[in-house]
Amino acid sequence: MKLFAFSKMLLICTGVCLVHSTVFAQAKSQWVYTNASNKLQYKTTERGDRIMDFSYAGYMGGGVAIPAVPVKITVSPSAGDNSITIQEAIDQVAALKMVNGIRGAVLLKPGTYNCERPITITASGVVLRGSGAAENGSVINMTGLPHACFVVKGNVTTKATKATSTIADQYVPAGSVSFKLQHVKELAPGDTIRISRPVTEAWVRFMGMDTLVRDGKKQTWITGDITTERVIKKISKNVITVDYPLTDSYDMKYLGTDGVSVTKITTQGGISQTGIENLRIVAPAQSVTINDGLYKALGMSDVTDGWVRNIEIVNTTNSISITANRVTVDHVNIMHDVPTKGSAKPADLNGSGAQLLFNECNITGDNLFYFATGAKVSGPIVLLNCTFKGNGWIQPHQRWATGLLVDNCQVPDGGIDFMNRGSMGSGHGWSIGWAVAWNCTARSYLNQLPPGSVNWVIGCKGEPQKRAVPFNTEPFLPEGIYDAHNTPVNPSSLYLAQLTERLGATAVQLIGYR
């Protein structure tokens, strides 16, 4: 438990440092700043877009403490493969009755657990907890053929109802929480809605993504719809207000005659209130390409309100993938003894869900993406006080993710890239829009400006770069916005300031900050 205590002490110290940084910050951002009434003031674009309120990212939508789930079964290490024993304990807890959404935790006593197959959680209210993440804690030693150490997953099915409408506004700015519908028949506060934006030829052409070619072959950027889900909080005439801001804008000029549809949906099969915590994962050191068999640490999907915290990870590749909602990844440290091979790099943290918070995560390794996103990802996603050491990048990766905040992160030997990846991969194209780097330090920044969108680098230290679309030398793409570059701005942390304003100082304390 020493590492856990140290992590909490570090967390508290970080909070103190954030307070001090706020006091001594040298500059004020023109895009978000504290006004004379001690409220956050936002500048907007000509069309009304703004830096969104990212404070909804994290477990339970931000500002809620991760619970201490009571232990129901305790497991000790044994000779041979321990994965079956651990899985049986998890399955026994999964069969218990839920009380306030919780079934219980499986506790691993200190020791080394050789495991040659994935350990899976598929029920709500189940937690796997170790007795510490240090070498003398609970160590999962990955043996056998390459596999994922932990898989936490539901099996969501979604049903569209007949209650459907269309956005009536000609333009909905990024960061909005309200918009007008053609009608609100059969819609009510509390309904979950799916907002579907069609990927039209006109929009793809506007984005410059209709000419992607690689090795003489046409590349397809995006097809189908880009969807995101919200809960209706209020209806006033035909205007609805949703539970958290939109991460993208909607310009009907490029979205066809059908426009953006809004449909009431119902879902089932997801799981919640589940997590992995307080243990160590060790895999064999492999210098491999991403196309080889890989030892992975954890995947979490079809989960709402989950967590991964106080985990030490050694030598996994494509280590953590979160394609879930309202998840906090807290104090996760990943170390690599050897770099991966090849030009195609793995992503140690894949944030491809909604309302995700990666807090105080640290990675040491070379030739990798420290953080990346998948296709059509709608945030908000926040990296807060993370440190990544080595030759690597924070780089949203492909096919139009939106709503990313990189807040007080350190990449001293690598880069933070908000970029057009062009025909890299199989036509990754514009990877990110409406992204913010806030008071970060990096060796370099590649901050590019997507058509009809904005990316911001604010109060950051490091060298801005200009580049053309990959595989070209010119022309350089337009730059995104640099504001107060090389000078820290106030507030020190945008996420914590937004969380304080929305929910009060107690919410910040509940996630470990002062």
For residue 12, what pLDDT is reported? 36
Q: What is the pLDDT of residues 26-46, one digit of tens each?
A: 699 999 999 999 999 999 999
For residue 288, what pLDDT is reported? 83
Q: For the chain, how long is the longest CA-to-CA vector?
A: 66
Eight-class DSSP state of 454: -
Question: Mean pLDDT across the stretch 186-215?
Answer: 96
Given a cut of 70, whether residue 23 has pLDDT beyond it is: no
Given a cut of 80, whether residue 21 has pLDDT beyond it is: no
For residue 340, what pLDDT is reported? 84
Helices (H), 337-491: none
Question: Mean pLDDT across the stretch 94-102?
Answer: 97
pLDDT classification of 207: cutoffs 50, 70, 90? very high
For residue 386, what pLDDT is reported? 98
Given a cut of 70, whether residue 22 has pLDDT beyond it is: no
Check: pTM over 0.75? Answer yes or no: yes
Helices (H), 129-247: 201-206
Burial 280-299 (b: 16+ CB within 10 A, else e): bbbbeebebeeeeebbbbbb
Contact 473, 26 (CB under 8 A): no
Q: Taking the CA of residue 327 as centre, how many other CA atoms within 13 Å lie in the half-sphere pointing to its CB?
A: 31
For residue 342, what pLDDT is reported? 82
Q: What is the pLDDT of residues 142-164, one digit of tens each?
A: 999 999 999 999 999 999 999 99
For residue 343, what pLDDT is reported? 83
Whole-number percent of the chain with pLDDT over 90: 90
Residue with tokens 């196309």: 291
Given a cut of 50, whether residue 266 has pLDDT beyond it is: yes
Residue with tokens 């494509």: 318
Record the tokens describing residue 15, joined without a space: 């909070």
For residue 19, what pLDDT is reported? 41
Record the tokens describing residue 136, joined without a space: 């003398």
First vs last Cα of the chain: how many Å apart?
A: 22
For residue 108, what pLDDT is reported? 98
All residues at 6 or more sequence positions from 213 whose CB lies less than 8 Å from its CB, including other chains: 219, 423
For residue 92, what pLDDT is reported? 98
Q: Which runs of E-coded beta strand occur in 269-384?
A: 271-282, 296-314, 320-335, 347-351, 354-359, 362-364, 368-372, 378-384
Whole-number percent of the chain with pLDDT over 70: 95
Given a cut of 70, whether residue 111 has pLDDT beyond it is: yes
Question: Mean pLDDT across the stretch 263-272?
Answer: 97
**Nearest to 155, CA basis, from 302, 353, 348, 274:** 302
Record the tokens describing residue 5, joined without a space: 């205590």
For residue 99, what pLDDT is reported? 97
Given a cut of 90, whether residue 286 has pLDDT beyond it is: no
> Residue 328 and residue 308: Cα distance in Å, rounded?
6
Among positive and negative, which fits the CA dihedral 286, 289, 295, 300?
positive
Indicate the range of 98-112, 323-337, 340-354 predicted with least confidence.
340-354
Given a cut of 60, whether residue 69 has pLDDT beyond it is: yes
Encoded amino acid at 204, one letter: V
Contact 492, 21 (CB under 8 A): yes
Given a cut of 90, whether residue 309 has pLDDT beyond it is: yes
Given a cut of 90, whether residue 506 has pLDDT beyond it is: yes
**Phi, psi values for residue 281, rounded to 5°:** -120, 125
Cis peptide before 380 (omega within 30 of 0): yes
Question: Mean pLDDT across the stretch 351-372?
Answer: 97
Eight-class DSSP state of 496: H
pLDDT classification of 385: cutoffs 50, 70, 90? very high
Q: What is the pLDDT of residues 443-480, one digit of tens each?
A: 999 999 999 999 999 999 999 999 999 999 999 999 99
pLDDT classification of 231: cutoffs 50, 70, 90? very high
Among positive and negative, which fits the CA dihedral 490, 493, 498, 500?
negative
For residue 289, what pLDDT is reported? 84
Please, what is the average pLDDT of the chain?
A: 94
pLDDT classification of 3: cutoffs 50, 70, 90? very low
For residue 344, what pLDDT is reported? 85
Given a cut of 70, whether residue 9 has pLDDT beyond it is: no
Contact 354, 376 (CB under 8 A): no
For residue 341, what pLDDT is reported? 84
Contact 212, 218 (CB under 8 A): yes
